[in-house]
Structure 1
Amino acid sequence: MLTSNGYVLDESAARLGDLEPVPPSERPDREALWLRLRRDGYLYLKGQLNAGELMDFREFYFRSLEGAGVYEPGTDPRQGIAASGDVDRAALRRGLFDVVVPGPEYQALCTAKGIADWFAWFLEDDVHLHRRKIIRHTKPGEAGIGTATQAHYDLVYLRQGSDRVLSMWIPLGDCPRQRGGLTYLEGSHRWVMAGERAGTLKKPAASITADLPGLAEQRDARWLVTDYEVGDVVVHSAHIVHAALDNVERDGTMRLSTDIRYQRLREPIDWRWQEHWNYKDGL
């Protein structure tokens, strides 16, 4: 059973579907990729990144949180098995915001082969990586409003820059659907773009809802899900509605993922996103 923020998704064929990967024949074809991105709002690129490097970073991430009670003592941090006790929030913040987020390891991950070079190729221009990069882990069993990323589209948080900024979501480790991967509302970029043009969508920045099944019913649309493998990424537009599933994994494995944003350097940049992510930054 798939849930998000405790809401149970309708798994009928009319409300749940599969995320469609880009076929190998289209991967080197820039024009085909742009056609697909405009049509679907996303590009699901399987095996885009080096799996070993991602797993090395997964190990680094959890080791950096040692002492915070995040992973189970005596287990390999690379596995990311959730600890059964309470998390030391102060130690977690120190490890995350003082070590991981501003560190050279995270910067190297976000500019690795298959990322910075791919965006430069795809956008046919000099590119800019937003300094505010977000990395999250979710433990199995966390449910209820606010535990999973609610339905939203990225532009509401990036209105002071280009609306052509592209996000890349990177699972840092295998992420089958029961581990709480990202899900996309099919075709939602079309009505979001129309609403943005008409000025009828909610302002200031806010998520749309935590009720994913209700939104799918309202829009007569499907949530698209898949079983992500380490090395897979999704590139999506700033207009497509997406959210996270709850982690209902039974073996204790945590989901770890990061979302980063690239755009053409010559286009307007939202300078609020040019400082390292911090839980107090208000964005």
Structure 2
Amino acid sequence: MITSNGYILDESPGRLGRLDAVPVGERRDRDALWQRLRRDGYLYLTQHLDADLVEGFRRYYFETLAPTGLVDVDGIHEGVDAGGPVDGALTRRLLFDEIVPGDRYAALTTHPSIRDWFRWFLGDDVHLHRRRIIRHTRPGESGIGTATQAHYDLVYLREGTDRVLSMWIPLGDCSVETGGLAYLEGSHHRVMAQERAGTLRLPAASITADLPSLADEYDARWLVADYRAGDVMVHSAHIVHASTDNVDPRSRIRLSTDIRYQRVSDPIDWRWQEHWFEGDGL
């Protein structure tokens, strides 16, 4: 049973499917990748990053947050949930004052495997938005607000180009049951049509936490995957996506980061040029 914010996803063939990874033979074919991105709204690039790089950052993250009580003392390197109360104030201080603005996070998000790839794919010098988000979800958390609700990124990026691309990086293995990202198949086509018609210019907000109803409304499938450390998702600003609940049987905390690259020659949303901080309103 797959859930998101407590809602049970319909697992019938018309409502649930698997993401298609980019075949190895297309990985260096820029035209083929653009065709795929325009068609599907996403690029699922397996083993794009060195798994050791990703796992190393995961260990650093949980070692840094260990004093908060978040992780089990015998499972810090794996990010095993301690299952007890967490010092929220200390978590926020360590996250926003040390991890987010720190050198380790910058090195990960500007790694040549990422920056050089975007430069090649976009065919131009690129800009990384300074506002980068790290999320962790403890196993067993449920109810509205615990998993990422259905949304598309453009509603949060109105002041810049709509050609900005997001990269979602699972920081460690992240199966469906650990709370991986899910995409609503083909939703970017409908969103772009409604954007052109001017009917979706809403304040920055999610669409809904009710993923099953949204799939019915779109008559579409939620697409999921069992991500491995080193996999990345590149997606357009128009495709609707969300995350599933973390019900990992090994009590591993789901950890991921969202970053955004664009051509430096395109308009840049000025609001995204400061480090992510608590209560930034986006």
What's the TM-score once normalised by structure 2's chain length? Answer: 0.99
| Structure 1 residue 202 displacement after superposition | 4.9
Question: In the alignment, which residue of structure 1 is the partner of 2:100?
Answer: 101
How far, CA to CA, are the matches of 1:210 and 1:76 in structure 2? 31
Within 2, Cα distance between the matches of 1:96 and 1:172?
15
Measure the CA separation in 1 of the matches of 2:25 and 2:33. 10
Give the Å deviation of 1:83: 1.1
Question: 2:166, 2:237 within 8 Å by CA — same for their partners in 1?
Answer: yes
Q: How far does the alpha carbon of each residue in 1:130-155 deviate from its partner, in whole angstroms, 9 at most, with x for none?
A: 00000011111000000000000000
Q: Secondary structure at the match of 1:137?
A: strand
Tell me the residue number matched to 2:58: 58
- Residue 37 of structure 1 aligns with which residue? 37
Which whole-Å CA distance do the structure 2 matches of 1:142 and 1:202 have between them?
A: 32
Kindly tell me the number of residue pairs found equivalent between the two proteins.
282
Distance, in Å, in 2 between the alignment partners of 1:253 and 1:225 is 19
Q: What SS does the aligned partner of 2:106 have?
A: helix
SS of the residue corresponding to residue 113 of structure 2 reads coil
Question: Any idea what SS the aligned residue of 2:112 has?
Answer: coil
Aligned to 2:236: 237
CA contact (8 A) 2:195 2:201 kept: no
* Cα distance in 1, alignment partners of residues 75 and 259 from structure 2: 27
Match of 2:134 in 1: 135
Q: Equivalences for 1:97-246 in 2 at 5 Å?
A: 97-246=96-245
Is 1:178–1:246's contact at 8 Å kept on the other side of the alignment? Answer: yes
Compute the displacement of 1:66 (Å). Answer: 2.1
The answer to whether the 8 Å contact 2:151/2:241 transfers is: yes
Normalising by structure 1, we get a TM-score of: 0.99
- Mapped partners of 2:213, 2:202: distance in 1: 21
Structure 2 equivalent of residue 277 of structure 1: 276
In 1, Cα distance between equivalents of 2:247 and 2:139: 5
Distance (Å, rounded) in 2 between the aligned partners of 1:280 and 1:108: 25
**Identity percentage over the alignment?**
67
Return structure 1 stretches of 4+ with deviation > 2 angstroms: none
Superposed displacement of residue 256, structure 1? 0.5
Deviation, 1:114, is: 1.5
Once the 2 structures are TM-superposed, how far is the Cα of residue 220 of structure 1 from its aligned partner? 0.5
Q: Which amino acid aligns with 2:67?
A: G
Query: Mind listing any 5+ residue stretches in structure 2 that lack a counterpart?
Result: none
The RMSD of aligned alpha carbons is: 0.7
SS at match of 1:115: helix
Structure 1: any 5+ residue segments left out of the alignment? Answer: none
Separation in structure 2 between the aligned mates of residue 139 and residue 243 of structure 1, nearest angstrom = 16
